[in-house]
Structure 1
Amino acid sequence: MDKKCLECGEKIVGRADKKFCNDYCRNAYNNNLHKDSKNLIRNINNKLKKNYKILSELNPEDKTRTTKMRLLDKGFDFEYFTNQYKTKTGNIYHFVYDLGYLMLDNDYFMIVRRER
């Protein structure tokens, strides 16, 4: 009984439990199998990277102020952040890795860098 590659259908030569004819077919099969979940993760990571880049550009030091409009103009997406920090006074900072922002009055934001 000849076994066939799960990806390309070629005859498999070698071990009895082998499922693919080569590494390319194995990788292609697994990439196709998980592509939907990988796309979701890739898209979220891209949005987080973009938000981080924007915060980095606007905050070259450890702390700065900016406007909501300036963030939006650069393409910042407020729905994507990695964690939140609530201060003792009740202020909530949203962080993208080590860069955070706090909404102030009149659509101003404080951008801070978490101490390392």
Structure 2
Amino acid sequence: MEIRTCLECGDPLKGRADQKFCNDSCRNAYNNKKAGGSTNFMRKINRILKNNHSILEELNPEEKTTTYKSTLTKRGFNFTYFTNTYTTKTGRIYYFVYDQGYAELEGNKLMLVKNEE
């Protein structure tokens, strides 16, 4: 009979025939190593996008409003990251974080909008 071992620590396994790990911490450690590297980079960007979306959503409850760029900056908004852009016929560029967006106006003001799609 073949001796089955934990994929993480190599200890012998006892129990179910399809068991791969000896405990939850070995399973978590194995999966964290497997998902590391470039996935950590994606997780970091997703955290930034979620934070940006939360800030826009909080400041834009009526689905269209204006605010100052400094207000977003003070709340930790990162202007480098957004999910897409939309350019109007007049040339105004809206930067969107999922369904929440903003466009730059005169005097460091921003117009916040919500995309209804």
Which structure is higher in helix share?
A: 1
Cα offset for 1:3?
Answer: 5.1
Separation of aligned partners in 2, 1:21 and 1:71: 46
Q: Which amino acid letter does the alignment assign opposite residue 70 of structure 1?
A: T
* Equivalence for 1:45: 46
Are the aligned partners of 1:51 and 1:77 in contact in 2 as well (CA < 8 Å)? Answer: yes
**1:113–1:21 CA distance, 2 compared to 1 (3 A):** closer
Greater mean alpha carbon deviation, residues 4-13 or residues 90-99: 4-13
Secondary structure, aligned partner of 1:20: coil
Among all aligned residue pairs of Structure 1 and Structure 2, give the percentage whose two residues are the same amino acid.
Answer: 49
Cα offset for 1:11?
Answer: 2.4
Q: Which amino acid letter does the alignment assign opposite residue 32 of structure 1?
A: K
Gaps of 5+ in 1: none
* Equivalence for 1:68: 69
Cα offset for 1:12?
Answer: 4.5
* Equivalence for 2:108: 107
* Equivalence for 2:20: 20
* Equivalence for 1:59: 60
TM-score normalized by structure 1? 0.82
Q: 1:35 and 2:28 equivalent?
A: no
RMSD: 2.2
- Number of residue equivalences: 114
TM-score normalized by structure 2? 0.81
Gaps of 5+ in 2: none
